[in-house]
Chains A and B, each alone.
Chain A
Amino acid sequence: MPFRLNRRQIITGMAALGAVAGGRNAFAQAPKRIPIPEGEFVPLPIAIPNFVAGTPGDAEVGVGVAQVITNNLKRSGLFAPIDQAAHIERITNIDTAPQFQSWKQINAQALVTGRMTRQGDGRLKAEFRLWDVNTNQQLTGQQYFTSPEYWRRIAHIISDQIYERLTGEKGYFDSRVVFVDETGSKERRVKRLALMDQDGANVRYLTRGSDLVLTPRFSPSTQEITYMEFGQGDPRVYLFNVETGQREIVGNFPGMSFSPRFSPDGQRIIMSLQQGGNSNLFVMDLRSKSTTRLTDTPAIDTSPSYSPDGSRICFESDRGGKPQIYVMPATGGGAQRISFGEGSYSTPVWSPRGDYIAFTKQGGGAFAIGIMKTDGSGERILTSGFHNEGPTFSPNGRVVMFFRDPGGSGGPSLYTVDISGRNELRVPTPGFASDPAWSPLLS
């Protein structure tokens, strides 16, 4: 019988031989291992000089892009941009490697160089390179083309690229926030729906302010918003198209409908419907307009929010006496209580990363914003005070935005805080602002 070997056997045999020889060799030379376990998290020093102007007319936008990137990275709390006044080298050409020594000298660990060039066809070309100053290597580099008026968006996209390359996580800068803009005196407050970039720029008003609007929520497509509006009669859930300005009532129900939110695929809206003194959760398919009841309890079930995979729902219910957070399958069925701390819990929202549920916690005369794992463990209060409410996650699940009302004659403002509880920052808005909802990434 002829001796046969198939190719795989030969290869694995050879590989095994090699592994034996190589492995022993490596073992013989294994160096002494010294553990380095004590490093502290420190914001990364990064230098962002103004982008080079490809044509003389592009100087202004080059400065603007660098400023937007600097602001984004600084606000994230994970980077420490170095003041441009300290820069030694003046970047004039991004196609050659920078003088790394001069950037080392000012303790920069990363360097961003870029160029904005207006093209013959009127478009704007944006190029950038991210350098590792210590290893003298380019970490990433990209170029984009866009209309000149969208230069801020390009700056956000570049910020996301830098953030992702240096932290290992997706960024969140190229995103928007919808919120309720509040103007006027406390007694005659006008509330309008407003949309802005996550850094507070490009504010647009979506409604005129004749009716009271609450709890706006983005669809995953970022083109639509669902919200609750008190028109004539009962408050209703509306659907609003950001691009066209069209709006429509979601469903036609006898009682009040409120606290709507999109499913992760954008095909359904989940909300509360009032029935007598109780309210229950319903889900409506936007295409077929069919409505499914999810809960049926003599209690108030509200504020539903889908897990990112769409398989589960967290919501608030007072079926146990006080408002608490419950989790149940997206198809309804046995709900499990997950919040057990003192006080009452409300407005749960599931992180886009799926790892946490953010909530408002009321107790001890204060409102706090916190997060807990999806099984209710690991509760962490991020901020606490007279009135904090309405948490919403950034697209990467790393930052929570909420609104804070200091009380008195003033009004609420928007704030962001890292899910570790650090780096709390106010978000600039034209007037008072409440009920923020963060969009998914635009690109």
Chain B
Amino acid sequence: MKIKVDKTVMASVALHVLVLGWVMLSFSTKALEMPPEESVAVDVVSSDQLAKVMAGMKTGKKENPKPLVEKVAEAKPVDDAVGKITEKAPVVTETAAPPQPKIEEKPVEKKPDPPKVVEKPKEEPKQVEQKPDPPKVDPIGDTLKKEEKKPPPKPPVQAAKPPEPQKQRIVERHFDQNQIAALLDKRDPSRQATTGDTLNSNAALGTAKGAAADNSATWGSMFQRQVERCWKKPYGGIESQKPEVAFAIRLKRDGTLEGAPVPEGVPATPFLRVYQESALRAIIECQPYKLPAAFYEEWKYFAPVFKEKV
């Protein structure tokens, strides 16, 4: 059914849409940012150390001048490491063709050879140039010339150049079984930035990522064990309907419910309704929940999802 719309109404709607749209876009651009994935730190850190590190402080400064320390380690002279790292810088791989200058710097023995190699290509072009000089007009000769000209551009000699120095170096680094120890990297461990002599928690206001510390594996499984003791799951026959119901619940510090759990969505079938009710009964019956007080900020508001084992 179509209706005529008054121009003023139209203008009003358009203006409202414009204003609302502008408000939504400009006032909430931050919400649109996708939080970057957190990197996975692989380090053996005890749980209390981790907890100290992760615990933020509301009163913290915006920037923390001290480097973040994840692990207590013995004090080490920092200068040393830096020095050694620079010493070892020229790491040479054998497959890659080495840059020319380095070869020239190398000891006396090789020097005689490279010059020769360099001269050779100069000579060849000369020979080619000399040939055109005799003014013989000869078709066979021309074709021969062409043939001769062709090969020189392909630099067989230039290609030969690199192999020579390489061969020399391989000979130089011959493998001596008796001196395997010499091959070991004797540098000190260079990763020192994240260990120090004192732990300091990250007393900043938080990062742009905004992901809170996640200890849900700990308190979540504690909650799960407790609520499951009260859950009298309805028996839905053999053909499982893959039920899954979720609630949003708020807990007080003493582990009791702050209010009635809020079910997510309206159950579509009588069985789902019964399933949801059974879960709701369990949540209510099992309070108070004994969960670690340290993580209260995490478990004061969360969503238990009741579902079938896969």
Question: Given A32-B216, A44-B232, A37 and B28 touching (CB < 8 A)?
Answer: no
Residues of A within 8 A of B281 (CB): 109, 132, 134-135
Residues of A within 8 A of B4 (CB): 2, 4
B17–A31 touching, CB < 8 Å: no
Could you say which of A21, A27, A38, A78 contacts B309, with CB atoms under 8 Å apart? A38
- Does A85 make an interface contact (CB < 8 A)? no
B274–A166 touching, CB < 8 Å: yes
B305–A168 touching, CB < 8 Å: no
- Does A188 make an interface contact (CB < 8 A)? no
A34–B216 touching, CB < 8 Å: yes
- Does A39 make an interface contact (CB < 8 A)? yes
Question: Given A2-B4, A135-B284, A168-B275, A32 and B224 touching (CB < 8 A)?
Answer: no
Residues of A within 8 A of B10 (CB): 3, 5
Residues of A within 8 A of B214 (CB): 32
Chain B 277-310 per-residue mask, 1 if CB under 8 angstroms from chain A, else 0? 1111110110000000000001001111111111
A34–B237 touching, CB < 8 Å: no
- Does A41 make an interface contact (CB < 8 A)? yes
Complex-state Cα separation, A42 to B232, whole angstroms: 5
B305–A34 touching, CB < 8 Å: yes
Residues of A within 8 A of B310 (CB): 37
- Does A20 make an interface contact (CB < 8 A)? yes
Question: Given A38-B309, A419-B237, A134 and B274 touching (CB < 8 A)?
Answer: no
CB distance from B261 to the nearest CB of A (A): 10
A132–B277 touching, CB < 8 Å: yes
A33–B302 touching, CB < 8 Å: yes
CB distance from A28 to the nearest CB of B (A): 6
Complex-state Cα separation, A45 to B302, whole angstroms: 28
B284–A134 touching, CB < 8 Å: yes
- Does B37 make an interface contact (CB < 8 A)? no
Complex-state Cα separation, A13 to B17, whole angstroms: 10
Complex-state Cα separation, A380 to B237, whole angstroms: 13
A38–B224 touching, CB < 8 Å: yes
**Best-buried of A5, A30, A39 by chain B (most CB within 10 Å):** A39
Residues of B within 8 A of A2 (CB): 4-5
Complex-state Cα separation, A249 to B305, whole angstroms: 59
- CB-nearest residue of chain B relative to A373? B239
Complex-state Cα separation, A38 to B246, whole angstroms: 15
- Does B22 make an interface contact (CB < 8 A)? no
- Does B121 make an interface contact (CB < 8 A)? no
Question: Given A33-B305, A168-B269, A39 and B233 touching (CB < 8 A)?
Answer: yes
> Other than the known A3-B10, A168-B273, what 20 A-B pairs have Cβ atoms closer than 8 Å?
A3-B5, A5-B5, A6-B2, A28-B31, A31-B301, A36-B279, A37-B307, A37-B309, A38-B228, A39-B231, A39-B306, A41-B232, A42-B231, A132-B277, A135-B284, A164-B270, A167-B234, A167-B271, A168-B274, A355-B239
The 7 nearest A-B residue pairs measured at CB: A168-B271, A168-B274, A39-B231, A168-B270, A34-B220, A39-B233, A134-B281
User: 9 A-B Cβ contacts within 8 A?
Assistant: A4-B5, A17-B17, A30-B303, A34-B303, A36-B224, A36-B228, A40-B233, A378-B238, A380-B238
